[in-house]
Amino acid sequence: MFPIHQTKSAAHARRIRMPETQSFPDKRLAHPAGRAPRIFADTAVIDDIEPLFRAGIITGVTTNPSLMKKAGATSWDEARDISRRILKLMEPYPVSLELTEVGQREMIAQAEQLGQWGDNAVIKVPVGGYIALSSQADPFTGLKVIRALWELDIRTNATLIFNSTQALWAAQAGATFVSPFLGRLADYAYQNDHPERPPGNSLYWIEDHKNTAGDQHLFNSEYVASGGPRKDIGIRLIQEIAVIFGNYDIHSEILAASIRNFAQITECLLAGADILTVPADILRQIPHHPLTEAGMKTFYSDSQVFTK
């Protein structure tokens, strides 16, 4: 578990400068959790989303092409129909829809199309990775698209973020939300790190020069999610972004994504995430605890004395 003493007040100082997440202007009784973090569902399955929304658990949804495929979409038309149903159900709460085009002009045109499906659509833009698809691509495509959409007053969610500088650049480009993938980062470090080197070494050690014996020397850039146990690397990424955004009063919301288990919900909150997007099967665990269940059984059985 991410140690609570490491969380300090950076997140708190930032949160009190952020806008309220829920306000009820007609109520005289102020809501006690007006600045509470928001929980989104990370799924495109409407049957998963609807009960969570009706129960007041979620106030947003995030999707991506893999989640659309998992929800059964086998064509653009089907993806559009699924997206429209989610947008309508969730209105006015945000629903992130990811661009599938990879050229700057086409992405902007597709963003405008997605925006026509619902006012609550947020355009999810991969922050990078364009070179992985074509060596000729402009590596800054995602950041340029985020900037262009900001100029058009279109909300964006910068996705596939794995270090805090990507998050900062996305925010500078004008991203409304930034989505660090904490679970994938931790999975990668666990599968690929050299166990005797610092956490994240498979991602951040750069083989850039040789030592006097002519061996490859590894240089740790140490600027990302460093300085703690390997198991906390994903959560430390969230914390780093929260501290950096706090330092510079950046209001892009930190949307913690790629959450793998229930404990990470608490950890993300301690680390200063503004929003958590969580798979439906994890969200369904919220009311459960073995002691809650045991207590409920006792209270219910004792209450039978009074109701007879």
Which residues are known to be catalytic? Answer: 124
Alpha-carbon distance 22 to 20, whole Å? 5
Alpha-carbon distance 293 to 285, whole Å? 12
Distance of CA 153 to the CA centre of its chain: 21
Query: Is residue 48 a contact residue for ligand G3P (CB under 6 A)?
Result: no
Q: Which residue is nearest to ligand G3P (CB)?
A: 258
The least distance separating ligand G3P from the CB of residue 55, rounded to whole angstroms, comes to: 21
Binding mask 67-96 toward ligand G3P (x if CB under 6 A, else -) reads x-----------------------------
Q: Which of 120, 252, 264, 277 binds ligand G3P (CB under 6 A)?
A: 277
- Are 268 and 254 spatial neighbours (Cβ–Cβ below 8 Å)? no
Query: Is residue 193 a contact residue for ligand G3P (CB under 6 A)?
Result: no
Binding mask 162-191 toward ligand G3P (x if CB under 6 A, else -) reads -----------------x-x-xx-------
The least distance separating ligand G3P from the CB of residue 183, rounded to whole angstroms, comes to: 5
Alpha-carbon distance 2 to 9, whole Å? 15
Q: Which of 49, 257, 270, 282 binds ligand G3P (CB under 6 A)?
A: 257
- Are 107 and 101 spatial neighbours (Cβ–Cβ below 8 Å)? yes
Could you tell me the two tokens for 273? 């995430």
Query: Which lies closer to ligand G3P via its Cβ, residue 179 or residue 264?
Result: 179
Query: Is residue 258 a contact residue for ligand G3P (CB under 6 A)?
Result: yes
In sequence order, what are the residues at sequence separation of 6 or more whose Cβ sits closer than 8 angstroms to the Cβ of residue 299? none
Query: Is residue 201 a contact residue for ligand G3P (CB under 6 A)?
Result: no
- Would you tell me the crossing angle of helices 262-271 and 233-247 to the nearest 10 degrees? 30
